[in-house]
């Protein structure tokens, strides 16, 4: 007996040594995926007139959920008046009145063109929150290095940043090798049907394909992850899908609420919703999220580096840690959000019908159909009818763009030149962007905007005190300038 115990102890010890050995070897081999030897660019200064241009763009309320044509016309006039050389030398195509495509012809027609995106529309300012702003949301005011207003982050900064860079390059006599396209939609915040969708149709009709497409979606974030001291520049290589399902409980009998049966339409429905919420979709570490960990892991402090180098052993631990943070959880699973309820006509009448809407953000690897099947399976109640709400606006997750492509490498290099301390990593975008329409015209779609923000700044998007620092604005112009140059090599 003692012999057996000793043998077992030795075996365990041996196994432990092997595991520790593997962990050490894997950690040592967990090498950096950052491109080395990139020198930071000396930024050109932000001119006073550039600041005025952005402020003027912010002053025009191009709000897309209630389109005011005169605002959009004013915005167009501003662009044409401000960027004279752009409008003389680039070919411009107008799509559905207020969306624009610009073509900057390159010197080498054999190279595939690239496309930089932006959108001119903004979300409205909630009336009840207006007095909580530190400045007029449509005033373009500057206070202590911050330029305030709707569109400073989302997304006029990109349009103005691109055009400022382009105008400067034209003045300097720069000629790109490949064709450079800009596409500025005007209704991204309301699903992009007349902007991005129509723009892509134009490209398809003209048989145009792009080496890479760059849209908004991710940025450089300070203190993005525990165990990572450097800022994290994320390049979105995929984005989650979107679907809303309607659950309807349909019961045969209604009746009087003074003698209720054990179950009513309302209780059947709420039971189904609870079951669903209690059975979240499984967490997965693959695709863009696995790529994120592979790029971030080697740059982390030693403890975290060891964890990420040994996902074969630590996956469960990492999942359970990250699942506590809704933002981290959202990049690893399809999320379930019950958002609307309807049922009953009067408080003393038992309803025969009750319905709910549940919003899902779908992780790559799953689809709108597979989500529906999962929901039916989990609820497992014939009295609940599950339907896809508004199928036209349901989208499967975007395919994964490569991290070995020309576009990814150029972005990696340019980010390092402008944000030298940042760790650059691919990632999954959890919201929907206009770029989802572009899958038919490019294999390499990336989502990144050149802004360096704190986590606390993220609530400025669509929120109170949307504002951009002048440092960020300077970097944005420099970034596009450098990106166009690097893409021309």
Active-site residues: which are they?
121, 188
Which region among 43-51, 128-136, 150-158, 202-210 touches Zn ion (by CB under 5 A)? 150-158
Is 425 or 432 the residue whose CB approaches Zn ion more closely?
Answer: 432
Instruction: Please state the closest distance from residue 278 (CB atom) to Zn ion, in A.
Output: 34
- Contact between residue 388 and residue 372 where contact means Cβ atoms under 8 Å apart: yes
129, 135 contact by CB (below 8 A): no
Site for Zn ion, residues 154 to 173, rule: CB under 5 A? 154-155
Nearer to Zn ion, 121 or 417 (CB): 121
Query: Which range binds Zn ion by CB under 5 A, 52-60, 147-155, 201-209, 256-264?
Result: 147-155
**Are the beta carbons of 87 and 103 closer than 8 angstroms?**
no
Indicate the DSSP class of residue 449. Answer: -
Of residues 111 and 464, the one with the C-beta less far from Zn ion: 464
SS3 state of residue 215: strand
End-to-end CA distance of the chain: 74
Least distance to Zn ion, CB of residue 154, Å: 4
> Which lies closer to Zn ion via its Cβ, residue 155 or residue 167?
155
Residue 119: CB minimum distance to Zn ion, A: 6
**239 touching Zn ion, by CB under 5 A:** no
Which tokens go with 323? 């699942």
d(CA 452, CA 470): 11
Window contacting Zn ion (CB under 5 A); options: 15-23, 151-159, 191-199, 203-211: 151-159
Contact 332, 289 (CB under 8 A): yes
Minimum CB distance to Zn ion smaller for 154 or for 417: 154
Shortest distance in whole angstroms from residue 59 CB to Zn ion: 19
Site for Zn ion in 176-215 (CB under 5 A): none
Q: Cα(210)–Cα(436) distance, rounded to whole angstroms?
A: 14
175-205 CB burial, b ≥16 within 10 A, e <16: ebebbbbbbbbbbbbbbbebbbbbbbebbee
Contact 153, 466 (CB under 8 A): yes
Contact 145, 470 (CB under 8 A): yes
| Residues found near Zn ion in the complex (CB under 5 A) | 154-155
């Amino acid at each position: 007996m003692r012999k057996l115990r000793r043998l077992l102890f030795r075996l365990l010890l041996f196994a432990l040594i092997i595991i520790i050995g593997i962990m050490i070897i894997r950690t040592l081999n967990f090498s950096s995926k950052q491109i080395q030897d990139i020198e930071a660019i000396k930024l050109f200064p932000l001119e006073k007139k550039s600041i005025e241009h952005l402020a003027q763009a912010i002053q025009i309320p191009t709000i897309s959920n209630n389109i005011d044509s005169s605002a959009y016309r004013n915005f167009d006039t501003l662009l044409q008046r401000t960027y004279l050389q752009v409008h003389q030398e680039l070919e411009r195509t107008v799509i559905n009145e207020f969306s624009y495509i610009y073509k900057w012809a390159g010197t080498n027609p054999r190279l595939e063109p690239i496309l930089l995106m932006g959108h001119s529309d903004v979300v409205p300012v909630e009336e009840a929150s207006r007095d909580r702003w530190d400045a007029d949301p449509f005033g373009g005011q500057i206070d202590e290095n911050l330029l305030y207003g709707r569109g400073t982050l989302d997304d006029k900064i990109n349009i103005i940043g691109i055009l400022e860079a382009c105008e400067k390059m034209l003045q300097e006599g720069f000629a790109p090798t490949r064709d450079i396209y800009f596409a500025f939609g005007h209704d991204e915040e309301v699903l992009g049907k007349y902007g991005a969708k129509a723009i892509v149709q134009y490209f398809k009709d003209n048989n145009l394909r792009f080496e890479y497409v760059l849209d908004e979606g991710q940025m450089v974030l300070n203190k993005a992850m525990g165990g990572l001291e450097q800022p994290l520049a994320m390049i979105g290589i995929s984005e989650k899908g979107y679907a809303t399902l309607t659950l309807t409980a349909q019961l045969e009998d209604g009746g009087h609420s003074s003698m209720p049966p054990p179950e009513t339409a309302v209780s059947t429905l709420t039971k189904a919703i609870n079951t669903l919420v209690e059975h979240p979709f499984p967490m997965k570490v693959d695709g863009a999220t696995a790529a994120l960990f592979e790029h971030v892991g080697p740059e982390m402090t030693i403890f975290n580096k060891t964890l990420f180098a040994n996902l074969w052993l630590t996956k469960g631990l990492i999942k359970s840690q990250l699942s506590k943070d809704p933002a981290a959880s959202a990049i690893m699973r399809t999320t379930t959000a019950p958002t609307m309820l309807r049922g009953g006509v009067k408080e003393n009448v038992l309803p025969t019908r009750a319905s709910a809407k549940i919003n899902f953000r779908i992780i790559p690897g799953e689809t709108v159909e597979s989500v529906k099947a999962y929901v039916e399976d989990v609820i497992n109640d014939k009295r609940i009818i599950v339907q896809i709400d508004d199928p036209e606006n349901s989208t499967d997750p975007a395919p994964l763009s490569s991290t070995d492509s020309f576009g990814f490498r150029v972005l990696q290099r340019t980010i390092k030149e402008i944000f030298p301390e940042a760790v650059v990593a691919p990632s999954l975008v959890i919201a929907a962007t206009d770029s989802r329409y572009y899958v038919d015209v490019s294999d390499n779609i990336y989502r990144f905007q050149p802004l360096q923000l704190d986590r606390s700044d993220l609530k400025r998007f669509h929120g109170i005190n949307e504002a951009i620092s002048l440092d960020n604005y300077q970097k944005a112009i420099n970034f596009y300038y450098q990106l166009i140059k690097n893409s021309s090599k």
